[in-house]
Amino acid sequence: MPAPVPTWTAAALRDPLPLARALIQRRSVTPADDGALDVLQAALEALGFTARRLPFSQPGTADVDNLYARLGADGPHLCFAGHTDVVPAGDGWTRDPFAAVVEDGVLYGRGASDMKGAIAAFVAACARHLGEHGPPPGSLSLLITGDEEGPALNGTRRVVETLAAEGERIDHCIVGEPTSPDHLGEMLKVGRRGSLNAQLLVYGTQGHAAYPERADNPIPRLLEMLAALTAEPLDRGSDHFQPSTLTITSVDVGNPATNVIPAAASARFNIRFNDHHTSATLERHLRAVCESVQAGRPGRYDLVIAVSGESFVTPPGLLSDLLSDAAAAVTGRRPVLSTSGGTSDARFIKDIAAVAEFGLVGRTIHQADECVAVADLEALTEIYRRVLAGYGVRS
């Protein structure tokens, strides 16, 4: 049974550390919540936010709880988005991954950087801003999911669809993913590459290895297709993106015999693509290349494609300027505007709001002894506070 939910005061919430520790102490390994959203909801309600829980499910997937909390009813509307779910702790920890231990100015725990620390920093920034200025002229909100580290089917994607159907308008959104490689303030994400996964299956005719003429070996055809797919770069990059990449991740035959030609062979590959492409144009390209190898030859092939997100970029503007100015003022570093890395829930939010990602240092995420400097928690809180102070003035 989850531990009791702490009782928060607005004054106590100005310090991000207690809330960060309380969130880390909830074992919210995807798709479990373990009361993490209850902890966050109690904190936000203490600041005057109105909170809604949005649980979603669908056949074959785990139920996922989500939280949407808003303060204010008018525009402009600034949202903070993130996730309380974490990856499994794994082995190799020198401290309890869910104890939220602080040693020598460092907070240790699963989710400290990715991304319970950033959530706590944003809540603390709200507490400070509201304490100094009262309710904002527009609206503040938090969109928090329990499904970012999992299949991402019942989390932010569904919340965004629900808010759009209800006519909820969000003008700008900060996603609190850990964006800086080594030092807070180094990098700000203004977009993400798309991601396409493909399985290529090539079929032939099984036979004896001593009589290859009586069989149709699918392996050479598979290798020819892979060679053709990787022969030329997909592009040379664009204004905001690095070149797209096609990475072969697996080649499998599953043949335990040394004297049998297999009936099938398969490969898997991943494409991280920029704004020169869409998943649809890439699929047409992939099928054309495979067909050029297969044409006029015996056997057949299948190409099974799954897309986890399209590429997108939010041109530099109000939100990236506010974040960059605040980061420079607090850390002395002006962030590089980047679209590197994997996918995030920003790929769903970009459909309803201008979005930028800025959070803690990501050096230890998904590792044993994940941690964040307490000083960085304080600095990120101050960066977010400055964004809040400037948002109503400059929007």
Say if strands 172-175 and 354-357 run parallel, antiparallel, or are unpaired. Answer: parallel
Is residue 148 among the annotated active site residues?
A: yes
Strand order across the 106-108 sheet: 102-103, 106-108, 371-373
Tokens of 238: 């664009």
Backbone angles phi, psi at 64, to 5 degrees: -130, 135
CB-based contacts of 137: which residues, under 8 Å, 6+ apart?
A: 74, 392
Residue 366 in marked binding region: yes
Is residue 370 among the annotated active site residues?
A: no
CB burial class (10 A; 0-12, 13-18, 19+) of residue 230?
middle
Spatial separation of the C-alpha atoms in residues 71 and 85, rounded to whole Å: 24
Residue 374 near residue 106 (C-beta atoms within 8 A): yes
CB-based contacts of 266: which residues, under 8 Å, 6+ apart?
A: 199, 200, 201, 202, 222, 250, 251, 252, 253
DSSP 205: B
Residue 132 in marked binding region: no
CB-based contacts of 139: which residues, under 8 Å, 6+ apart?
A: 70, 71, 72, 73, 74, 75, 76, 77, 78
The single residue of 33, 38, 148, 275 carrying the catalytic annotation is 148
Residue 114 in marked binding region: yes
Spatial separation of the C-alpha atoms in residues 369 and 178, rounded to whole Å: 16
What are the start-end ranges of the E strands in 99-171?
Answer: 102-103, 106-108, 139-145
The single residue of 33, 34, 38, 85 carrying the catalytic annotation is 85
Stretch (H or E) spanning 177? none
- Other C-beta atoms closer than 10 Å to the C-beta of 387 total 26
Residue 256 near residue 313 (C-beta atoms within 8 A): no
Residue 325 in marked binding region: no
Residue 382 in marked binding region: no
Annotated binding site: 83, 114, 149, 177, 366
Annotated binding site for Zn(2+): 83, 114, 149, 177, 366
Return the active site residues. Answer: 85, 148
